[in-house]
Amino acid sequence: MAAGMGSRYGGLKQMDGVGPHGETILDYSVNDAIRAGFGKAVFVIRKSFADNFKQHVNAEHYGNKIAVEYVYQELDKLPAGFKVPEGREKPWGTNHAILMAKEVIHEPFAIINADDFYGRDAFEVMAKHLMTLDGTKGKYCMVGYRLENTLSENGTVSRGVCETSAEGLLIGMTERTSIGRTANGIEYKDTDGSMHPLAADATVSMNLFGFTPDYFEKSEELFVEFLKEHGQELKSEYYIPFAVNTFIHSGYATMTVLKTTAQWFGVTYKEDRPMVVARLAKLHEQGVY
């Protein structure tokens, strides 16, 4: 998912060359995905920066080792009968972004954020699990990370906070916004402005999910219901956690929470950039890349 405009970062994060040789974070993700056995990369972008994006990202850039497709997340990409409310400026969220790829994905697939570094082991764990899902429906998965390892020192973040069963299945996921470190520990701000604590070892989603193709049809049906209720709101977003929770609670799907030894990091704010540059440089020094 690379359609974000990087308003907090001050530019297109997905195009920023933070590696020692100008590599973007997305370059590392695609490289790790290729090594793990993925066969196609689908980039969800916006038409407004498509030309610049394609100049950098293409099959040749990755040594022609992976097929490349582009799809576009735009405001007006809505089911029949719905229109964009006057005054709305942003697309409809992460699960809307997934729906843009419906016509080009017909096999088990993983989704990621373009500006997050997930680590090689996370892709290997995901690929291994997805290979067991071909031909199934409603058996989804995700890679879970420890909350305290996913925060920014330069501002608040949004995370899907997960509740899991003893069997490692997701019970529910709640999208929490404005999460950050405070004098009281780690807290998030509610819609009414009140602060609430979160455990440092809470399992959170970083949008590294694995789905089977039936997810598109089910998500499209749910999007229609979402738009009926929230379609006239200027800032409503159709988040992945909302869809996943709905499918789990209805009994349609299960979601296995996969464990990884990988370390996540990302660039939410421009102040995060030096840390990312340093960590990638160290990985190169260690011979990982």
Q: Is 44 exposed, middle or buried (0-12, 13-18, 19+ CB in 10 A)?
A: buried
| Predicted pLDDT at 152 | 85
Confidence (pLDDT) at 212: 97
pLDDT score, position 3: 84
Top-level CATH class of 13-285?
A: alpha beta
pLDDT along the chain (289 residues), means of 10: 66 81 93 96 93 83 90 94 93 95 97 93 96 94 92 88 93 90 94 92 93 97 97 93 93 94 84 93 95
pLDDT at 131: 96
**CB within 8 Å of 244: residues ≥ 6 apart:** 140, 170, 173, 209, 253, 255
pLDDT, residue 262, reads 85
Q: Residue 178's closest CA among 163, 166, 193, 168?
A: 193
Model pLDDT, residue 10 = 53
Q: What is the pLDDT at residue 244?
A: 93
Q: What is the pLDDT of residues 185-233, one digit of tens each?
A: 999 998 888 999 999 999 998 989 999 999 999 999 999 999 999 999 9
pTM, entire model: 0.87
Handedness of CA 172, 190, 196, 205 (dihedral sign): positive
pLDDT of residue 149: 85
